[in-house]
Structure 1
Amino acid sequence: MVRPTPPWRYAIGMFGTSIPINMVKGSMILYYVDILGLDVRAYGVVMTVYAVIDALDNPVLGYLSDRTRTRFGRRRPWLVIAGPLLAASMIGFFSAPTSLDGIGLVIWFAVFAILCEACDSVLNANYGALLPELYPHERKRAKANSLRQGFQLAALVISLAVTPALTTSVLGSERSTVGFTTTAIVYGVIAAAVIIFMVIGIRENPHYATDQRPRLIAGIRSIIANPLFWKVGLVGACYGIAMAMVLSGVQLYVRYSLGLAVSSALYLQGVVIIMSVGGLAIWTRVVARRGALWSWRLAFAILAVSFIGLFLAHGLVTALAAGVLVGAGWSGMLANNDLIVARVLDNDAERNGEHREGLFLSAFGTFGRLNGIVSGLALTSLGVFFGYNSGRDPGDQPGFAFRMYLCVYPFVLTAIGAIAARFITVPEPAADRRRSAREPAV
């Protein structure tokens, strides 16, 4: 019998996986577009190309993970390799020579953006696949997920809230890149160490690694024929794309829309994250009482409404007040979205008789890679409609431009997601249904 993995040991891995990629997503526009002068049109093209490449390689990466058979398990070897590679790619991403311009800058940005996201895809496919395997019952799964989202929020405090102050005030300045490189090195070392520590302490269930290895083409056909894949994937993409815009645009929202120093993003991000940390405990109780599906629908609606407050904010105080509601909705999505995905994975394993969580999560990741296309097009639209092309050519309405990017676009996406979620039903985990069947009727 496999010794159970303590939820905290699995959950701490989220701290390591979150720091690098969130620094990349949270600071890429500020670093490349506003400071180095990369044109938003080039940014949009690169993100579109990246999304296509990533959508194609994601299923292959998940398929390779599902077929891996070692004495250390299926997922652990991939995690050990991808963690340090992500850290190294992030350091390269924030080490662009200041002499680069034009096509040279575009190529540097494209190469390291794609490397970072490829490594992140490997990490997420393998790390996420362990959640339903290690914790088959939804209540314990919800506890482990809340803990790991708590670690993610702790990582966000560092990689998003603290980073602007470190990169533009403590270790660098508003218009230099030195602070970004130093910060990336520190974060990379921490992230790699935490991921390896997590991997050492978890134990995979050998029963999930059957002798029969999943087939790529047959597996993809089966997945795309599953209606839940499309329903949950597309609705989840509405949430993922919206939050990707928020994370990437908040620093410039603070600079242009609120008229404050970039380092002041610390306060807005801090309030959102602190509210999210506190909300996780509440949402975990709501899940235990009402189930993940009901909680997911409610959280979606709260998150959508919160963007109205951010749009109306015209100073730090009103933005902080709106941030409280953003945190409440976001924590609900953090607590519930992965549980809904895990239910889909359970349902797939039950229907097909094989555990191919890596392939399925990577296929779900294809929807997530829409982030790059949609956020790239959204940023490009700021140049078309509002004249913001870069920090060197911000146009006449940069403040309104980033209200659109951070508030209006995310509101539209999450409102669509909240409405669509009302019409989605996902079966409970099989382990919970069997437990309910054994309990005597009252």
Structure 2
Amino acid sequence: MGNLQNARSSATQAKKSSLRPVERWGYASGNFAKSIVWNTLELFLIFYLTDLVGLPPRDAGLIVFLSLIWDAVLDPVIGFIADRTTTPIGRYGPFLLIGAPLCAISFSLVFSLPTAMAEHGMFWALGALLLFRSAYTLVDLPHNALIATLSNDSSERARLASLRFVFSSLAVFVLAVSSYFILSPDLIEHQQNRFRQFGLLVSVASAAVLVASWWSVRRFDRTAQGANHSISSQLRSLVFFIRDKDSRAVMLYAFSSALLVSVFGKGLGYFAKYELGNEALVSVGLAAMMIGQIAGSICLGRIASRYENAIALKAAGLMLLPATLVFFLSAPASAATLIGSCAVIGFPVGGIWALVWALAPNVVDKQQATCHTRAEGSYFGILIVIMKAATGLSAFLFGWLLTQIGFEPNVQQSDATLLWLRCVMCVLPSIGGISIFLIMSTYGITHANHSSLLTK
């Protein structure tokens, strides 16, 4: 028995140290490709649909919600298939190699919608988004699940998750700089042409980076082939993920962050256009926020690696309260206050977005030790379903709240509407921060007891 444990320990140590820097950075760069397409839609899609395409805010929010629900339905299917996939190039490679070009084509179509769409415009927009969400599912889940195959060390996963988010933030920084030119005050037709050109450029670059990201870690993918799990073992794993308190904590944390924390970013375009009087200034706020997020993901990632994931996340959740208060009280608004408050908010948000992918593989390790089968694709599928459903619900909620506070596109807003816009942008993320603090207080996987799971 002692020899068996020593052998397992040696294998664990070997796997911990086998990830080369070029592989670590190559894998993390895939988040740049995913983030730039995801955040283009996350930050600007509702604005694009309401102010350029001409849809009512409620319809725009509903379109985003329905498309993300469709996306979320596909994730468990892809996860289930991935858990049973065995090919000469690996478990996740086929999904990424097929999905990357499809994602590029469909993303460019989203920003090819005509302005001032007719009465059936809502259905045209929904159809374009459904195509993109279907393709995005083929690359998002496999790339996320790859992190569980690269290392079984909890601390290393925290560092890798932090590096992934640095690339995600760099993508949004590029998006922020680009948005200065895309959203420069001009005729609607000119703005939409710039969106089309940007969409085409981003789609091609994203596909190329995603393929290169998988290629850099393909040796790990080849050794992580799927297994022929029985239906009963799959069901046992599903029951475990639902009943286990640590699994539930990660799912609730993912739901709260996607539903509530993301609202601040959705409101930036409206805040810049209607309170600051220049929608191009959203690029300034986004750039400042991304700098804060990069700093936050690195600092909080180091705390998570050196101490505990839960400690870092509880700290990030509490930081959101004073950070959003700074933004709310920064009146009268100016470019300077926008830069400062967005950077402050970005710091805790960086840790919140990054560390979910450090916690998820640890839950899968616990599931494997308990159920004696490994279902990482299924769990990542469940987790992404939750996040995308929450993101869709967040978009619908934000669109509905815009209607309730009296927002009308392309006209001057009342002082009351602008005040309520600030409230929406600040109160909901603050509630999310409190929720994350409370949820992480129940999370029990530490670096020490995670190491003991690997020997079972």
Question: Could you state the TM-score of these two structures normalised by the residue count of structure 2?
Answer: 0.86
Distance 1:73 1:353, change over 3 A: same
Residues 1:177 and 2:192 are matched in the alignment? yes
Q: State whether residues 82 and 91 of structure 2, in contact with CA within 8 Å, keep that contact through their aligned partners in structure 1.
A: yes
Structure 1 unaligned residues grouped into runs of 5+: 438-442
- Written as runs of structure 1 = structure 2, the 5 A alignment for 1:240-259 is 240-257=258-275, 259=276
Q: Which residue of 2 aligns with 1:100?
A: 117
- Written as runs of structure 1 = structure 2, the 5 A alignment for 1:318-357 is 318-357=337-376
Pick one of 89, 103, 115 that aligns with 1:86.
103
Q: Which residue of 2 aligns with 1:150?
A: 166
Q: Which amino acid aligns with 2:250?
A: V
Distance 1:395 1:110 in 2: 31
Residues 1:37 and 2:79 are matched in the alignment? no
The root-mean-square deviation of aligned C-alpha atoms, in Å, is 2.7
Distance 1:287 1:94, change over 3 A: same
Which deviates more from structure 2 when the two are superposed, residues 187-196 or residues 275-284?
275-284
Distance 1:173 1:380, change over 3 A: same
Pick one of 377, 383, 387 that aligns with 2:403.
383
Distance 1:226 1:119, change over 3 A: farther
Distance 1:36 1:173 in 2: 9
Please state how far the C-alpha of 1:219 moved relative to its aligned partner: 4.6
Distance 2:424 2:384 in 1: 23
Q: Which residue of 2 aligns with 1:371?
A: 391
Q: Which residue of 1 aligns with 2:138?
A: 122
Q: Which amino acid aligns with 2:364?
A: L
Structure 2 unaligned residues grouped into runs of 5+: 1-13
Q: State whether residues 146 and 335 of structure 1, in contact with CA within 8 Å, keep that contact through their aligned partners in structure 2.
A: yes
Distance 1:324 1:394, change over 3 A: closer
Please state how far the C-alpha of 1:395 moved relative to its aligned partner: 6.7
Q: State whether residues 233 and 364 of structure 1, in contact with CA within 8 Å, keep that contact through their aligned partners in structure 2.
A: yes
Distance 2:426 2:345 in 1: 11
Per-residue deviation, residues 41-74 of structure 1 (Å, max 9, x unmatched): 2123323433443333221121112111101111
Please state how far the C-alpha of 1:83 moved relative to its aligned partner: 1.6
Distance 2:66 2:238 in 1: 22
Distance 1:175 1:405 in 2: 30
Distance 1:361 1:210, change over 3 A: closer
Q: Which amino acid aligns with 1:186?
A: L
Q: Which amino acid aligns with 2:350?
A: S
Q: State whether residues 27 and 213 of structure 2, in contact with CA within 8 Å, keep that contact through their aligned partners in structure 1.
A: yes
Distance 2:186 2:284 in 1: 19
Distance 1:204 1:225 in 2: 30
Pick one of 279, 286, 303 that aligns with 1:269.
286
Secondary structure (helix, strand or coil) at the match of 1:176 reads: helix
Q: Which residue of 2 aligns with 1:233?
A: 251
Distance 1:271 1:317 in 2: 10
Which deviates more from structure 2 when the two are superposed, residues 41-50 or residues 12-21?
41-50
Q: Which residue of 2 aligns with 1:53?
A: 70
Secondary structure (helix, strand or coil) at the match of 1:100 reads: coil
Q: Which residue of 1 aligns with 2:34?
A: 17
Question: Could you state the TM-score of these two structures normalised by the residue count of structure 1?
Answer: 0.89
Q: Which amino acid aligns with 1:354?
A: T
Per-residue deviation, residues 393-422 of structure 1 (Å, max 9, x unmatched): 967744234313322222222222223322
Q: Which residue of 2 aligns with 1:112?
A: 128
